Structure 1
């Protein structure tokens, strides 16, 4: 069952009693599980439907945005939420930091998901991953290898596009640079990257591919899955042209590997259907669900041995940076501060 929460929280929050009375989310019953999620319905619903088909357990879903973390906190002990499924390490860590989660204790999960994609205390775990890569012009960029460090090389002056430096996807990348190089070197790198930009940061990842197609820049930083979404976009076929204009470069493939982030899940601290919720988590780490998760959004499975989709494999092999995501999460605040200190969003020579 679906409820959209696209509007701001202040305008969209319903009282718990209203939710239960309306049947939008069910009260606690062993044959049901209540999921809050920021993922698009088309990406997560097939997995939840497969779980219901296999187990008979009904899944009630509340779709929303980033406000769902604070919503669970506000609902307190009476929250109907069993699970929160969301994207980006920051949202998962924020849920833990706010005290709205409980440890996920499962030998199945521990066997299926590598440790670097699980919270050491068990409060969150990854379900799928995406890489922060470089989109490069097929016509104007000859090289097929690159590093993140190279993006600050003056040879790229006026040739790079990127969304806001404060966007969570970029903050995670910058935090990983701090983990690998320290604050001082990362600050200097951010200044070099800023001064190589073709314009002030803005738009989204797809806008970077569009700008390459239009000849406005030669490189753009974006997530892998957007390439697949553009390649298969039937409703906006012009995006297929954007995708044809770029080639995928996996930064640092020859050394530490490419920075990755995750979509993931937490179990709510006051989950009323804990056993059913744990069963759903274990299902989402299974071969079947990992394949469905990866196929639906052109992401990478986290369970070893499960193949990515054919389209994803066509981009080349991903060698993922093995830096634990806890190391990334711990440096996100400092990364955000550095973005402001160098006035990254002010653009070149700001």
Structure 2
């Protein structure tokens, strides 16, 4: 029912005449790169509980450019993106402001928010192992993907996709560029097919016997396992088991990416913007994130969706996400250097 909620996108216009946008009592303007339908249940609940209307502007691309063009006239209050790198691009371009909120700081672990209060993770997307349901696995590390015993048995999407460059960037942060390059060559050597397609294609190809394991985001499994009975996607989901890999080493955990948000630099409705962010990390909202999108709550202790809970406990990699983002460019260069996608 949550996933079927209709997304309504309103236009939040900037003020005319070159003057800053004017605050509107009881409203907040959300610029988002997420499909509104994925978060509309949360926004509807916020409005019902607070009386504050959310005007949503969907920007699949060009968020930074839009904010730069609008400048002080921008009507944006809250900026919401998927992928840490994209969120920090907005921050580094100077389009956000500091928020000092005890509510946000208490709900969100320190490595999942900006140290200066300029950005906050709202939900997590763990990068996990899809494996044939009959395969016996007793733990797994990301480094294991390069083990020669998996030669011809691994499936993965393009190495240049943000989901994978984020993982590879984290590997650089953990093991250094030289070891990561060697690891990428090992993973490429183990591929059962060209690195391509999407995450759900990994499950599809495991069912087809093309590969035995692959790396993909966990939330897709919730969608597949809850798809209509008899559908292709349901069959893909039922063909696999999920294992949460960790980076090798005493401090290693499972790699996560985020959906996150920040308050816009020139927010005309700043107080309402902060209220929305604080609402999105409440227990109820975090549970709704988990049930509607099969994403992992950023707030510890929140009840999980049954499918997500079935994956077992998750130890989140404690590496600050800023360190991951700092290695994105190098990760992309290494993907090209080893010919990962060729």
2:127–2:218 Cα contact (<8 Å) kept: yes
Q: How does 1:1-350 map to 2 (within 5 A)?
A: 2-3=8-9, 16=14, 28-139=23-134, 141-234=135-228, 237-252=231-246, 255=250, 256-346=252-342
Quote how far apart the aligned CAs of 1:27 are.
5.6
1:144–1:249 Cα contact (<8 Å) kept: no
3-state SS, counterpart of residue 330 of structure 2:
helix
1:232-280 CA distances to partner (integer Å, 9 max, x unpaired)? 1239821010011111011128852211111100111111111111111
TM-score by length of 1: 0.89
Q: Which moved more, 1:47-56 or 1:230-239?
A: 230-239
Taking a change above 3 Å as real, the CA distance of residues 117 and 166 of structure 1, as seen in their structure-2 partners, is same
Determine the C-alpha separation between the residues in 2 that align with 1:326 and 1:104: 18
Equivalent residues, number? 330
Determine the C-alpha separation between the residues in 1 that align with 2:13 and 2:291: 36
Determine the C-alpha separation between the residues in 2 that align with 1:253 and 1:173: 10
Taking a change above 3 Å as real, the CA distance of residues 297 and 70 of structure 1, as seen in their structure-2 partners, is same
TM-score by length of 2: 0.92
1:275-323 CA distances to partner (integer Å, 9 max, x unpaired)? 1111111111111111111211111111122121122101222121111
1:308-348 CA distances to partner (integer Å, 9 max, x unpaired)? 112210122212111111111111111111111111111xx
Q: Which moved more, 1:217-226 or 1:70-79?
A: 70-79
Q: Give the match for residue 9 of structure 1.
A: none
1:68-113 CA distances to partner (integer Å, 9 max, x unpaired)? 2322222211111111111110111100111111112211111111
3-state SS, counterpart of residue 301 of structure 2:
coil
Determine the C-alpha separation between the residues in 1 that align with 2:86 and 2:15: 26
Determine the C-alpha separation between the residues in 1 that align with 2:229 and 2:141: 34
Determine the C-alpha separation between the residues in 2 that align with 1:156 and 1:301: 32
Determine the C-alpha separation between the residues in 1 that align with 2:226 and 2:59: 25
Which ranges in structure 1 are unaligned for 5 or more consecutive residues?
A: 6-13, 19-25
Determine the C-alpha separation between the residues in 2 that align with 1:73 and 1:87: 20
Determine the C-alpha separation between the residues in 1 that align with 2:120 and 2:61: 18
Q: Give the match for residue 4 of structure 2.
A: none
Quote how far apart the aligned CAs of 1:17 are.
6.6
CA RMSD of aligned residues (A): 2.1
3-state SS, counterpart of residue 9 of structure 2:
strand
Q: Give the match for residue 11 of structure 1.
A: none
3-state SS, counterpart of residue 61 of structure 2:
coil
3-state SS, counterpart of residue 303 of structure 2:
coil
1:132–1:260 Cα contact (<8 Å) kept: yes
2:159–2:341 Cα contact (<8 Å) kept: yes
Q: Give the match for residue 23 of structure 1.
A: none
